[in-house]
Each structure stands twice: as C-alpha cells, then as structure tokens.
Amino acid sequence: MRILVVEDEKHLNRIISEAVEDEGYSVDSCFNGQEALEFMECAKYDVMILDIMMPKLNGLDLVRRLRRGGDTTPVLFLTARDDMRDKIQGLTVGGDDYVTKPFSAAELLARVRVAIRHTRSGLSNEALVNTGKFVAGDLTIDYDKHQVLIAGENCHLTQNEYRIVALLGKCAGKVLTYDFIMKELWGPQSKGSNQILRVNMANIRRKIEKNPAEPHYIFTEVGVGYRMIEGD
C-alpha cells in the first residue's frame, strides 16, 4: 500500500512518515497542497494523510479539486482544530476521516487501516477484501506486504512490476486496456507508446510464469491490454 503524507510542519511530517513506513507501507511526503497535486499526477496512492492548514493550497481546497477531477483516493484529514463545524466541512468536501492534533501514532495507523479496508471494499474479490491477498493457483499477491509470490517464494518484482500485477489482481478476470493501466499507474499524462508497459510485462512473465511464452496467470488480449486469471 502506498501512502502520501501532506503536512507543512517538517518535524511532524517526518514523525508521521516514519510511523507509517514502520508499519510496512510505502510512503511519499510533501509539504503543501500544490506539491501534493504534482505527486498525484505521477503516482496512485491508496491513502492520503492530509493537513488542512497549509500554504499555497490548503487541504480543503486540494480535496475539492481532486474530487471535481474524479479522484477517489481516501483522505485522512489532520488538523489542530477541534470544532465540529470544521470536521463536518472536511467530510463534506470529500474527506473520509478526521484526526485532531495532537494524536497518537497508534490512533493514526488504526485510521489508516480503516481507510485501506474501505478501499478494498470497493473490489469484487471477497478474499482480497478480507485477507489482503489475491490467490490463483501458486500465485499470491500480498497487498499488505507489497509482494508477489509463486508457491510461497517471493518473486522480487520491481516497484513498477509489482504495481502492474497488483492492479491486474484487483480486477482479476477483466481486460484492462494498455491506456487504462498506464494512466492508473503513471498518471493521466501518460500517452503514446506502451513500450514501457510491454517491457515490464515481459520481465514479470519471466519471474512468475513457468513458460513466459505460454502464460498461465496474465494473458495478453492482442491490441487491447492484459487480463489476470480469476482467483481461486
């Protein structure tokens, strides 16, 4: 799972980032809403931890812009304010949860886990929702550990390779077009040649398939995209 921490107070940003990273999540951090927009143009995040009061673009305005653009990333607001009206405003603009400063790392991480469960609940694979794992034969995608395994052995995928397999696993049985995959993983600015996607897929197949020329897990729909085998 990939988390974006957006907090302008550098010391608190570091504390939050380290706590989330220690929990096993992949973390990016920035210090204002404008920087957050730039990060989100280049990557997809499972949860955003977002301060409300920030320079350049505050948290409320950032979420308004994201929601208008169709972005559904779960947002956990951070704020020093404890007024119920502020909480309601944060949730009204599209936030998913709200933590008032000061807070404990345990509380923050608990709320992150809840947000991730909500993300999973939108998936069709019931086993993935309940366990955080997609299983098809010897293939296991462990979304919590950020790993792909064959017969219990880590395939040691690169970050991009893992993200491709993870996306296909979430939509197992469905054909995902080349354009859809590229925009989901590398942002809406991804256009043109899908060569980078094809190269990554060739490497993935060498690592997960017994015979890459006759794939058992990820199939190519010629001229369209890729499809993951349905789970057990």
Full 3-state SS string of the chain = CEEEEECCCHHHHHHHHHHHHHCCCEEEEECCHHHHHHHHHHCCCCEEEEECCCCCCCHHHHHHHHHHCCCCCCEEEEECCCCHHHHHHHHHCCCCEEEECCCCHHHHHHHHHHHHHHHHHCCCCHHHHHHCEEEECCEEEECCCCEEEECCEECCCCHHHHHHHHHHHHCCCCEEEHHHHHHHHHCCCCCCCCHHHHHHHHHHHHHHCCCCCCCCCEEEECCCEEEECCCC
More confident call, 31 vs 174: 31
- pLDDT number for residue 218: 96
pLDDT at 72: 76
pTM, two decimals, is 0.55
The pLDDT score that the predictor gives to residue 122 is 47
**pLDDT score of 203 more than 70:** yes
What is the arithmetic mean of pLDDT over 74-78? 89
Residue 40's pLDDT band, with cuts at 50, 70 and 90, is confident
Percent over 90 (pLDDT), the chain: 35
The predicted structure's pLDDT at residue 91: 78
Task: Provide mean pLDDT across the span 40-57.
Answer: 87
Most confident of 47-56, 75-84, 87-96, 201-210: 201-210
Residue 121 pLDDT class (50, 70, 90 cuts) = very low
